[in-house]
């Protein structure tokens, strides 16, 4: 609130720009503090908003997780300490959903990054209709996720009239029940189909920002295709690969749409977001759901610590550019 | 590549060059093949959406069945079902308003992080991104309970607030890198000329960072339009969004495949159109501006 008023004197003081850093070192100078607040002020609305809307609810989740609280029996709400956590970690269904989340996220991210890289390499070459092929490849990523899940479940996987079994029927093959025979793989396949284009787009952009002179020079020096890929292209693509992996992980760990729509969490496909949704929305076990939520956060923090260290390489490069 | 360089080189067409050309053609064909494989499910959905329910549910599939608009007519309510318009309008409203709020909050923040960087700005950037790593399910229950307490459930503005918080971190990251493109020297020159902050923002910063800001808005719009967990838990009848509406199509009486396909196409259409139209911008935005 006080920022607009304190910011005024800063304006009068601007001209000797070179003197500013020296002056900034002097502690307690009121004008510099004002200036610092003036630079900080634009950040505050976003920061405060985010803290209120995302951090406060999480703190509330932490508190709720310590209570035995089922909304069907509101009178029996009582402090339970770490009891909920014990249940979460010992309950087989919840433990399974942790494993499912890890499997689902890891397999979808890894496969779509590898496929995306191969596709990006294909599309980096010039050929007739390249723009059209790129547009076709992007389509899966632009489909609304729920629509995509419905498409896979009903129009492709359906054992009676789905496209897959229709084609197999033409070829005289077997008629598997995709979603009951291999449920997790079926869900993963649809997610890989959706996320490969995303990885392809990022990696293609990375490929096209390669310094061409270096590549030419390497070729003149007699480097083969593989050597150029291994020693020039791959190192250049590193930060793009990291970025794709990070963003992909953030979104796929939280995937709800595919699991909710395709299997309703049945057949060992319930991941943590779906399980938590079930625990509080249908079972009304508020304390338990919150504890499971906290477990997700702890897991994510462990992954994020690694991921953030990786992303900081993005910064290092940016800073060294400047 | 080969097509361009061949006329320039004087050397006769060797076996090696011919082989390279054939390999290039084969890889081009492979790319076409993979592209078709990826788009095929979408095309299949499109085709099915134009079939009658009877033709849609056959095995083997009927490619030659006559086309009809029945699926679309059904979707838009002539079949006695609920009208899709309220949910489509809810989706449009929440996506547009949350995108505007994201811009309002993220632009000043990105400005403070790039053009006049605050000290320890990388820490602040990490904080923003780390809120994105806090899974939404971890805060969903308190939000649900709080909204229920103050009678705010099934209200589109609740979704607007949550979508804003969902997209804000990514938007700050993207815009930080787009605004960092604006040379500080130009801004200082404008300040010397006596330009005030609003003028500088509008005349100097906006033209340079504009395309990036547009890409950010597009991505925020897409993520809000697609969101489903919040919509599923926090809305009911009044504030239902299009993705949540879509899930109600699978009824216990059975599935109407053509109708579901038509509905999926209609609901995806805004995102498909925007995404196809702005492919390059999308890439730049999704890679958080790392691609220049």
Q: Tell me the mean pLDDT in the region A3-31.
A: 42
Question: Which has the higher per-residue pLDDT, B4 or B259?
Answer: B259
CB-based contact, A248 to chain B, within 8 Å: no
- Closest chain A residue by Cα to residue B1: A126
The full length of chain B comes to 292
Q: Tell me the mean pLDDT in the region A32-56.
A: 83
CB contact under 8 A, B24 and A127: yes
Cβ neighbours of residue A145 closer than 8 Å, sequence gap 6 or more: A194, A257, A258, B226, B228, B243
H helix count then E strand count, chain B: 15, 0
Local structure of residue B205 (DSSP, 8 states): I
> Taking 50 as the threshold, does the pLDDT of residue A209 lie above it?
yes
> Which of B65, B138, B248 has the highest number of chain A CBs within 10 A, making it the mutation to test binding with A?
B138
Partners of residue B272 in chain A, C-beta under 8 Å: 139, 142-143
Kindly report the CA angle at B188 between B177 and B216, in degrees rounded to 5? Answer: 25
Other beta carbons within 10 Å of A3: 13
Partners of residue B246 in chain A, C-beta under 8 Å: 144, 146-147, 150
Chain A and chain B share a number of CB contacts under 8 A equal to 316
Nearest CB to B28 within list A61, A127, A315: A127
Kindly report the CA angle at B284 between B282 and B290, in degrees rounded to 5? Answer: 150
CB contact under 8 A, A144 and B131: no
Question: Which has the higher per-residue pLDDT, A303 or B30?
Answer: B30
Per-residue model confidence (pLDDT) at position A304: 61
pLDDT over 70, % of chain A: 82
> Taking 60 as the threshold, does the pLDDT of residue B167 lie above it?
yes
CB-based contact, A297 to chain B, within 8 Å: yes
Q: Tokens 């820490």 sit at which residue?
A: B123
CB-based contact, A217 to chain B, within 8 Å: no
CB-based contact, A122 to chain B, within 8 Å: yes
CB-based contact, A290 to chain B, within 8 Å: yes
Per-residue model confidence (pLDDT) at position A216: 82
CB contact under 8 A, B41 and A126: no
Per-residue model confidence (pLDDT) at position B257: 81
CB-based contact, A133 to chain B, within 8 Å: yes
Nearest CB to B60 within list A64, A166, A290: A166
Per-residue model confidence (pLDDT) at position A140: 92
Residue A311's pLDDT band (cuts 50, 70, 90): low
- Please give the Cα distance from A219 to A300 (Å, whole number): 43
Nearest CB to A277 within list B233, B250, B255: B233
Residue B8's pLDDT band (cuts 50, 70, 90): low
Per-residue model confidence (pLDDT) at position A30: 62
N-terminal to C-terminal alpha carbon distance within chain B: 23
Q: What is the pLDDT of residues A105-139, one digit of tens each?
A: 888 988 999 999 999 988 888 888 888 888 899 89
Q: Are B263 and B75 in contact (CB under 8 A)?
A: yes
Q: Tell me the mean pLDDT in the region A181-204.
A: 89
Residue A25's pLDDT band (cuts 50, 70, 90): very low
Residue A22's pLDDT band (cuts 50, 70, 90): very low
CB contact under 8 A, A146 and B243: yes
- Closest chain A residue by Cα to residue B60: A166
> Taking 50 as the threshold, does the pLDDT of residue A298 lie above it?
yes
Q: Tell me the mean pLDDT in the region A187-206.
A: 90
Per-residue model confidence (pLDDT) at position B98: 94
Q: State phi, psi for B66 to the nearest 5 degrees.
A: -70, 150
Quick one: which of B287, B18, B104, B261 has its CA closest to A150? B261
- Please give the Cα distance from A236 to B178 (Å, whole number): 21
> Taking 50 as the threshold, does the pLDDT of residue A12 lie above it?
no
Kindly report the CA angle at B88 between B85 and B94, in degrees rounded to 5? Answer: 135
Residue A302's pLDDT band (cuts 50, 70, 90): confident
CA dist A174 → A164, A171, A178, B167 (Å):
11, 9, 11, 45
Tokens of A113: 């990054």
> Taking 80 as the threshold, does the pLDDT of residue A274 lie above it?
yes
Nearest CB to A143 within list B42, B44, B129: B42
Q: Tokens 């992007």 sit at which residue?
A: A138
Partners of residue A150 in chain B, C-beta under 8 Å: 246-247, 249-250, 260, 264
Q: Tokens 């070179």 sit at which residue?
A: A18
Partners of residue A128 in chain B, C-beta under 8 Å: 28
The minimum CA-CA distance between B6 and chain A, rounded to whole Å, is 14
CB contact under 8 A, B141 and A145: no
Q: Tell me the mean pLDDT in the region A145-154.
A: 88
Q: What is the pLDDT of residues A88-103, one digit of tens each?
A: 888 887 788 888 888 8
- Please give the Cα distance from B206 to A179 (Å, whole number): 50
- Closest chain A residue by Cα to residue B143: A57
Q: Tell me the mean pLDDT in the region B143-170.
A: 87
Per-residue model confidence (pLDDT) at position A235: 82
Tokens of A106: 């890891």
> Taking 70 as the threshold, does the pLDDT of residue A61 lie above it?
yes
- Please give the Cα distance from B249 to B259 (Å, whole number): 8
- Closest chain B residue by Cα to residue A286: B141
3-state secondary structure of B254: strand
CB contact under 8 A, B44 and A145: no
> Which of B20, B110, B139 has the highest number of chain A CBs within 10 A, making it the mutation to test binding with A?
B139
Per-residue model confidence (pLDDT) at position B103: 92
Q: Tell me the mean pLDDT in the region A45-60.
A: 87
CB contact under 8 A, A45 and B109: yes
Q: Tell me the mean pLDDT in the region B173-179.
A: 84
Q: Tell me the mean pLDDT in the region A235-248.
A: 81
Q: Tell me the mean pLDDT in the region A30-48.
A: 79
Q: What is the pLDDT of residues B92-106, one digit of tens each?
A: 999 999 999 999 999
- Closest chain B residue by Cα to residue A169: B60
CB contact under 8 A, B38 and A139: yes
Q: Are B174 and B111 in contact (CB under 8 A)?
A: no
Cβ neighbours of residue A45 closer than 8 Å, sequence gap 6 or more: B104, B105, B108, B109
**What angle, 0 to 180 degrees and rounded to 10, lies between the N-to-C axes of helices A286-321 and A234-253?**
160
Per-residue model confidence (pLDDT) at position A24: 44
> Taking 50 as the threshold, does the pLDDT of residue A3 lie above it?
no
Q: What is the pLDDT of residues B210-244, one digit of tens each?
A: 888 888 888 899 889 988 888 888 877 777 888 88
- Closest chain B residue by Cα to residue A275: B137
Dihedral over alpha carbons A198, A203, A204, A205 (to 10 degrees): 100
> Which of B29, B133, B190, B258 has the highest number of chain A CBs within 10 A, making it the mutation to test binding with A?
B133
CB-based contact, A209 to chain B, within 8 Å: yes
Other beta carbons within 10 Å of B227: 28
Per-residue model confidence (pLDDT) at position A180: 79
> Taking 90 as the threshold, does the pLDDT of residue B179 lie above it?
no
Partners of residue B157 in chain A, C-beta under 8 Å: none
> Taking 90 as the threshold, does the pLDDT of residue B62 lie above it?
no
Per-residue model confidence (pLDDT) at position A196: 93
CB contact under 8 A, B118 and A43: yes
Q: Tell me the mean pLDDT in the region A202-210.
A: 83
> Which of B134, B188, B280 has the highest number of chain A CBs within 10 A, making it the mutation to test binding with A?
B134
* pTM, to two decimals: 0.81
> Taking 80 as the threshold, does the pLDDT of residue B186 lie above it?
yes
Q: Tell me the mean pLDDT in the region B137-160.
A: 84
Task: Give the range with max mean pLDDT: A63-77, A164-178, B34-48, B168-182.
Answer: B34-48
The full length of chain A comes to 322
The secondary structure of chain A, three-state, reads CCHHHHHHHHHHCCCCCCHHHHHHHCCCCHHHHHHHHHHHHHHHHHHHHHHHHHHHHHHHHHHHCCEECECCCHHHCEECCCHHHHHHHHCHHHHHHHHHHHHHHHHHHHHHHHHHHHHHHHHHCCCCCHHHHHHHHHHHHHCCHHHHHHHHHHHHCCCCCCHHHHHHHHHCCCCCCHHHHCHHHHHHHHHHHHHHHHHHHHHHHHHHCCCHHHHHHHHHCCCCHHHHHHHHHHHHHHHHHHHHHHHHHHHHHCCCHHHHHHCCCCCCCCCHHHHHHHHHHCCCEHHHHHHHHHHHHHHHHHHHHHHHHHHHHHHHHHHHHC
CB contact under 8 A, B243 and A314: no
CB contact under 8 A, A142 and B271: yes
Quick one: which of A155, A192, A132 has its CA closest to B46? A155
């Amino acid at each position: 609130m006080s920022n607009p008023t304190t910011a005024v004197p800063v304006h009068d003081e601007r001209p000797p720009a070179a003197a500013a850093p020296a002056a900034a070192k002097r502690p307690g100078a009121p004008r510099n503090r004002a200036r610092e607040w003036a630079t900080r002020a634009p950040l505050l609305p976003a920061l405060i908003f985010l803290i209120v809307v995302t951090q406060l609810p999480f703190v509330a989740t932490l508190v709720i997780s310590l209570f035995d609280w089922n909304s069907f029996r509101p009178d029996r709400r009582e402090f339970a300490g770490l009891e909920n956590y014990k249940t979460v970690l010992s309950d087989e269904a919840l433990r399974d959903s942790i494993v499912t989340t890890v499997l689902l996220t890891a397999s979808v991210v890894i496969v779509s990054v590898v496929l995306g890289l191969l596709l990006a390499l294909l599309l980096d070459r010039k050929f007739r209709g390249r723009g059209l092929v790129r547009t076709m490849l992007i389509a899966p990523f632009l489909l609304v996720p729920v629509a995509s899940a419905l498409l896979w479940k009903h129009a492709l996987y359906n054992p009676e009239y789905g496209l897959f079994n229709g084609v197999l029927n033409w070829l005289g093959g077997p008629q598997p029940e995709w979603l009951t025979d291999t449920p997790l793989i079926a869900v993963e396949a649809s997610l890989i189909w959706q996320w490969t284009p995303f990885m392809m787009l990022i990696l293609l952009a990375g490929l096209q920002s390669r310094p061409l002179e270096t590549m030419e020079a390497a070729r003149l020096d007699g480097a083969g295709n593989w050597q150029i890929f291994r020693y020039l292209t791959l190192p250049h693509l590193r930060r793009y690969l990291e970025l794709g992996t990070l963003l992909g992980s953030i979104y796929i760990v939280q995937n709800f749409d595919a699991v909710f729509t395709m299997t309703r969490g049945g057949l060992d496909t319930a991941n943590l977001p779906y399980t938590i949704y079930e625990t509080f929305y249908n079972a009304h076990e508020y304390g338990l759901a919150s504890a499971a939520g906290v477990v997700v956060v702890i897991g994510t923090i462990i992954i994020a610590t690694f991921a953030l260290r990786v992303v900081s390489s993005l910064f290092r490069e940016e800073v060294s550019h400047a | 590549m080969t097509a361009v360089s061949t006329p320039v080189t004087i050397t006769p067409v060797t076996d090696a060059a011919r082989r390279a050309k054939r390999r290039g053609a084969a890889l081009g064909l492979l790319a076409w093949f993979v592209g078709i494989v990826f788009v095929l499910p979408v095309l299949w959905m499109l085709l099915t959406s134009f079939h009658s329910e009877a033709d849609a549910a056959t095995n083997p599939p009927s490619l030659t069945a006559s086309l009809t608009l029945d699926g679309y007519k059904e979707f838009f309510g002539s079949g006695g079902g609920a009208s899709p318009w309220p949910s489509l309008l809810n989706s449009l409203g929440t996506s547009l308003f949350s995108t505007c709020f994201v811009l309002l909050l993220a632009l000043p923040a990105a400005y403070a992080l790039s053009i006049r960087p605050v000290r320890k700005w990388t820490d602040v950037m990490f904080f923003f991104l780390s809120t994105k790593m806090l899974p939404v399910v971890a805060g969903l229950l308190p939000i649900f309970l709080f909204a229920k307490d103050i009678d705010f459930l099934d209200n589109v503005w609740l979704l607007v607030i949550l979508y804003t918080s969902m997209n804000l971190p990514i938007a700050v990251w993207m815009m930080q890198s787009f605004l960092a493109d604006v040379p500080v020297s130009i801004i200082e020159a404008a300040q010397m000329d006596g330009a005030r902050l609003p003028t500088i923002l509008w005349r100097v910063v906006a033209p340079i960072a504009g395309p990036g800001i547009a890409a950010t808005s597009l991505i925020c719009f897409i993520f809000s339009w697609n969101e489903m967990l919040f919509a599923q838990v926090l809305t009911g009848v009044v504030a239902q969004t299009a993705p949540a509406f879509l899930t109600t199509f699978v009824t216990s009486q059975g599935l109407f495949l053509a109708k579901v396909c038509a509905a999926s196409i209609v609901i995806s259409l805004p995102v498909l159109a925007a995404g196809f139209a702005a492919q390059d911008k999308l890439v730049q935005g999704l890679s958080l501006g790392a691609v220049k």
